[in-house]
Amino acid sequence: MSMTATIPAGTPMAAGANEPRGQRPKPFFTPKKIMLYTVLVFFSLYYLFPLYVMLTTSLKTMPEIRFGNIFALPTAPSFDAWFKAWSSACTGLTCNGLAPGFWNSVKITIPSTIVSIFIAAVNGYALVNWRFKGSEIFFSILIFGSFIPYQVMLYPLVMITRELGIFGSLQAVILIHTIFGMPILTLLFRNYFASLPQELFKAARVDGAGFWRIFFEIMLPMSLPIFVVALILQITGIWNDFLFGVVFAGNVNYPMTVQLNNIVNSAQGTPEYNVNMAATVLTGLVPLTVYFVSGKWFVRGVAAGAVKG
């Protein structure tokens, strides 16, 4: 594990050309540098180890897992466990694998993402450009509300969705995701719209454009970046949700995370660790793909939630 030695070897790939801070393009092998990279590599191993274990275990056979060791690479990598996890692993009730959960998650994530982002974008726009009496108070409560543990509101929401006749359906989960996505997304859009030049809005007002026209023809075309951030935030957030899925979706609509937990934690018989890990990888695949493809945008999304206006 001496990656310290390999790092200087990759010198030509000059990364971090971001900001020029201080002045010392000095020798590379100072003790300080060596220590710095050792610590960083040590932490990187901690972060990477589970990913490595997840992947290698999922590609092994059960005997290999039982008699081998957790560090070893699979001798003959096979995707059998992946197929089993996808289509025939048992959850204690049924043996249809993760596939139904995957599609449920898709059916939950897509509408929830679209609805919650649209509502939050309109909210943010109204909060910045069309303030009305009390709008800031509502916004403050919304932000404070985002810190309240979900358990506090869970039971009344069950009763409300039951009254509406949607408890135990996809609509209920979508509604709940829209509600609890609202604080962070509204904050995001509000801050973004506030950063746009107000002259644009005023000019449109003078020309006689109304609320919706300005929103669709001026604000939306300018807010692609924040939409990307919101999209990343919502797709990963909703995909990873467990609590709302388990409470509101109903047995047939359980999202992938709930299915995964059922496969691993409530299946009877001898546990098949390769199948379990394959199922875990499969469930993590969507957010991981979003993460690696979006790169900097994910960081922006994560930080945007924390840096308040």
Partner 1 sequence: MADTAAPLAMGAERVDRPGLLQRIFLHNVPAKIAALPMVATVLVVFVGCVAWTIYYSFTNSKLLPTGKFVGFDQYERLFATSRWNVSVWNLIAYGSMSLVFTLVIGFILAVLIDQKIRFESAFRTIMLYPFALSFIVTGLVWQWIMNPTLGLQGTLRGLGWTGFTFDWIANPRMVLFALLIAGLWHGTGFCMVLMLAGLRGVDEEVWKAARIDGIPTWRTYVSIVIPMMRGVLVTAVVIIGSGIVRLYDLVVALTNGGPGISSEVPAKYVFNYMFSGGNIGQGLAGATMMLLTVLIIMIPWAYLEFGGKGRRT
Query: By CB under 8 A, what part of segment 56-115 binds partner 1?
Result: 57, 65-66, 69-71
Half-sphere exposure of 52 (CA within 13 A, CB side): 11
Q: Judged by CB under 8 A, which of 99, 106, 114, 119 binds partner 1?
A: 119
Nearest Cα to 154, choosing from 233, 237, 239, 245? 245
The reply on whether position 135 binds partner 1 by CB under 8 A is: yes
Minimum separation from the CB atom of position 173 to partner 1 (A): 15
Q: Which stretch binds partner 1 (CB under 8 A): 76-84, 162-170, 218-226, 291-299?
A: 291-299
Q: Which is nearer to partner 1, 99 or 196 (CB)?
A: 196
User: Dihedral through CA 122, CA 128, CA 132, CA 133, nearest 10?
Assistant: 120
* Residue 236 makes contact with partner 1 by CB under 8 A: yes
Please report whether residue 29 would count as binding partner 1 according to CB under 8 A.
Answer: no
248 near partner 1, judged by CB under 8 A = no
Which CB, 92 or 295, lies closer to partner 1?
A: 295
| 250, 169 Cβ separation under 8 angstroms | yes
Nearer to partner 1, 79 or 212 (CB): 212
Among 257, 267, 272, 275, binds partner 1 (CB under 8 A): 257
Measured from the CB atom, the residue of 24 and 221 that comes closer to partner 1 is 24
The answer to whether the beta carbons of residues 259 and 242 sit under 8 Å apart is no
Residues 145-183: b if buried by 16+ CB within 10 A, e if exposed: eeeeeeeeeeeebbeebeeeebbbbbbbbbbbbbebbbb
CB 254 within 8 A of CB 101: yes
